[in-house]
Amino acid sequence: MSTAVKLDTSDNISNQDKKVLLNNPFENFKIENYKYAQLHKNITSDVSLEYHEIDLSSISSLKKLKLTDAVDIDLLSDLNKWNYNNTDSFFRVNSISERSSIKIDLDFFEEEVLYLDLSLFKENIQLNKVNELQKTLIINNSNFSDHIPRSIILNLSENSNLNIIHYCISNSKSFLYFEINQQNNSKLKFITFQSNNIHTRNEFFSSLEENCSLDLYGLNIHNHGVNDNYSFIQHMKPSSQSREVFKSIVDNGAVTNFQGKIYVDSVAQKTDGYQMSRSLILDNDSKANNKPELEIYADDVKCSHGSTVSKLNQDQVYYFKSRGIEEEQALKILQKAFLVETLEAIKNSQIKEYSYNLLEMRL
């Protein structure tokens, strides 16, 4: 497949970025951070993806974000300044070179739930949150067929508080770069729900200042093709906490990847980092690759990671059946049980219920 990048000689792109572009994962499959994403291949599937409609009519206080809600357009120069060691992301550079950008201030709206439907925007999006008041942001990233990556930048100011649920469903191609900048005492819960996709990659680059908390939960079920999650969580100042849990159920001959790094800077003492990636493989054709990494330069931290790949426990299925429960139902209950930890993290009860229903439909 040809690359998404058509690099012009625009002065807006720094030399450093140019260097990154030379390492293009669309051309070179050996680049470590993109090794399993198979971007150099045009991943297709025989299945025709049904259009996924997100119906949020059950959510009472909802604001749909539109282009006219943007406070600023074309922040290319701004985006180039956000440069804290994350040149590892080809997507970031690529999206900046290909798309214009807009800025939305999340505190501007009174509604408790904000809805960002990415199909309404062609731009990269910068989202800012200043207020302590808790809000939930729904990011709908469904039905895409777009090989040019896009960037979503989240800036959480001091003491701010945000919950995000990202629905990534029925995409034949979708490549996203999330950049999360958390200033002192900010809190973020981020849940990504991924299903029925053919070729996706979601990157989560996060930077934490002092006394922050980040919960990043991933649910990945019944995809086709190659589905890839990459996270890079940087603890840059003391006393922050990050908790990351990714759960995948893989079948249909699909490949699911999780690669996650926790980086703890030498000044980031009292960091509490946790990372867990677990995959359940339902058939003999499917694959799961998990690669947890820790890079720690401080000496007073708590960091742990774990990773499992397994099949469904047939003894558990037998136990259900021995109590009269049909196999099909037993399998659904056990798959749901494997995943629910991720949905339990959702704070808003209406969105939680909606997500549970969505999971039931996708089981």
Partner 1 sequence: MLKIDNLHVSIEGKKIIKGLSLTINKGEVHALMGPNGSGKSTLSYVLSGKEGYEIDEGTIEYNGKNLLDLDVDERANSGLFLAFQYPMEIPGVQTSFFLKTAINSKRKFLGLPEVDALEFAKLIRSHAEDLGISSEMLKRDLNVNYSGGEKKKQEILQMSILKPDMAILDETDSGLDIDALRIVSEGVNKLRSEKNSFLVITHYQRLLNYIKPDFVHIIADGRIVKSGDFSLALELEEKGYEDLSKIAS
Binding site for partner 1 (CB under 8 A): 313-316, 318-319, 321-327, 329, 333-334, 336-338, 340-341
Minimum distance from CB of 320 to partner 1 (Å)?
A: 8
- Say if CB 176 and CB 141 are below 8 A apart: yes
Whole-angstrom CA distances from 88 to 83, 96, 140, 173, 252 are 11, 14, 26, 21, 31
Whole-angstrom CA distances from 282 to 235, 255, 326, 329, 332 are 36, 12, 17, 15, 12
Minimum distance from CB of 312 to partner 1 (Å)?
A: 12
Residues 6+ apart with CB under 8 A from 314: none
Q: Which is nearer to partner 1, 117 or 341 (CB)?
A: 341
Minimum distance from CB of 313 to partner 1 (Å)?
A: 8
> Of 26, 35, 355, which Cα lies nearest the Cα of 195?
355
Q: Which is nearer to partner 1, 85 or 313 (CB)?
A: 313
Q: Which is nearer to partner 1, 262 or 280 (CB)?
A: 280
Minimum distance from CB of 334 to partner 1 (Å)?
A: 8
Tell me if residue 349 falls in helix, strand or coil.
helix
The C-alpha atoms of residue 345 and residue 356 are separated, in whole angstroms, by 12
b/e per residue, 39-61, with b = 16+ CB within 10 A? bbeebebeeebeebeeeeeebee
Greatest pairwise CA separation for the chain in angstroms? 69
Q: Which is nearer to partner 1, 81 or 323 (CB)?
A: 323
Q: Which is nearer to partner 1, 121 or 338 (CB)?
A: 338
Minimum distance from CB of 331 to partner 1 (Å)?
A: 12
The C-alpha atoms of residue 239 and residue 94 are separated, in whole angstroms, by 33
Q: Which is nearer to partner 1, 181 or 248 (CB)?
A: 248
Minimum distance from CB of 342 to partner 1 (Å)?
A: 11
